[in-house]
Amino acid sequence: MSGLFDLHGRLAVVTGARRGIGRAMAEALAAAGADIIGVSTQARADDEIAESIRGLGRSFESRAVDFADRDAVLALGAELAERAPDILVNNAGTIERAPAAEHPLSWWDRVIEIDLSSQFALTQLVARPMLERGRGKVVFTASMLSFQGGINVPGYTAAKSGIAGLTRALANEWAGRGVNVNAIAPGYIATDNTAALRDDPDRSRSILERIPAGRWGAATTSPEWRSSSARRPPTTSPARSSRWTAGGWRDNALAPIEEAGKPHGFPASSSSGGYRR
């Protein structure tokens, strides 16, 4: 089983790696043997994620980048292209909540830039050396709102719907050239982005009523799994996730991301969502 998840000698870039889902993915990739470049807006050399990755015996480098700053993202992309990473996980994102009729256009612009435009810009640059060598993996973090409209988050829903379409478009173009492009669509996970919902008793209750497990998903990999050096799939929430491939999208219950029948070493942890975020 260990060979199925062996990423030794591979370099993975994970954006939004400092906490939440991004940290869980970075840790799982490292447990499978990959060295990690973690990118976050507030990244610091002494972040817990750095200690965690190095504790798994892998190298960790930190990059602080504001994904709302197009020039900074392009500079990062140019730097990473020189490093020629094997895996790119586009997980960085933000969310702003206000009814659509009162939603500030400045919020809309910022969310679209961070959650969609910056991800295309970064992927475009990092994927070029992947395409040249005929090998690479790109993973986007989409959302249940890639399928559903949500309420009070028009910019976020538009961006995550765009990520779904972008994933399909890139998969169609690049699969035949050896670069696999996939997306995961987490449901209700306990992260900073969902703190406002969890802190609202009425919204939290209505959400939990629609989740069969009756609890929020957790963006973690278990210590037991991490110490196994990825000899088995990661622990996930008892819930549902989705992914897109060049062949379309597929709904998976409790499935790790996989490509061509070969599971990858990081989680697609998700809880089942409802129709509103």
Single-letter code of the amino acid located at 160: K
Burial class (CB in 10 A: 0-12, 13-18, 19+), 214: exposed
What is the distance between the alpha carbons of residues 4 and 15, in angstroms, rounded to a whole number?
A: 24
Partners of 15 in the β-ladder: 39
Tell me the three state secondary structure of residue 226. Answer: helix
| Cα dihedral across residues 79, 64, 230, 238: positive or negative | negative
Tell me what pLDDT residue 171 has: 98
Tell me what pLDDT residue 148 has: 85
The whole-model pTM stands at 0.76
As annotated, the active-site residues are: 156
User: In order along the chain (277 residues), what is the average pLDDT of each group of 10 residues?
Assistant: 76 94 93 96 81 95 96 98 98 95 98 98 98 98 90 95 98 98 84 72 75 73 42 35 40 32 33 37
Start-to-end CA distance of the chain, whole Å, equals 38
Residues 48-72 as b/e (b if ≥16 CB within 10 A, e otherwise) read: ebbebbeebebebbbbebbbbeeeb
Could you report the per-residue pLDDT of 182-205, keeping only the tens digit for each? 999 887 777 666 777 777 787 777
| Cβ-based neighbours of 201, under 8 Å, separated by 6 or more | none
Strands 258-259 and 87-90: unpaired
Tokens (6 digits) for 226? 């991490």
Tell me what pLDDT residue 223 has: 44
| Cβ-based neighbours of 36, under 8 Å, separated by 6 or more | 11, 12, 13, 14, 17, 26, 29, 30, 53, 58, 59, 60, 61
Q: Are 257 and 266 in contact (CB under 8 A)?
A: yes
Tell me what pLDDT residue 96 has: 95
What is the distance between the alpha carbons of residues 276 and 99, in angstroms, rounded to a whole number?
A: 13
| Cβ-based neighbours of 178, under 8 Å, separated by 6 or more | 130, 131, 133, 134, 135, 136
Q: How far is CA 226 from the centre of its chain?
A: 18
| Cβ-based neighbours of 140, under 8 Å, separated by 6 or more | 90, 119, 163, 166, 167, 181, 182, 183, 184
Domain spanning 2-263: CATH superfamily: NAD(P)-binding Rossmann-like Domain (3.40.50.720)
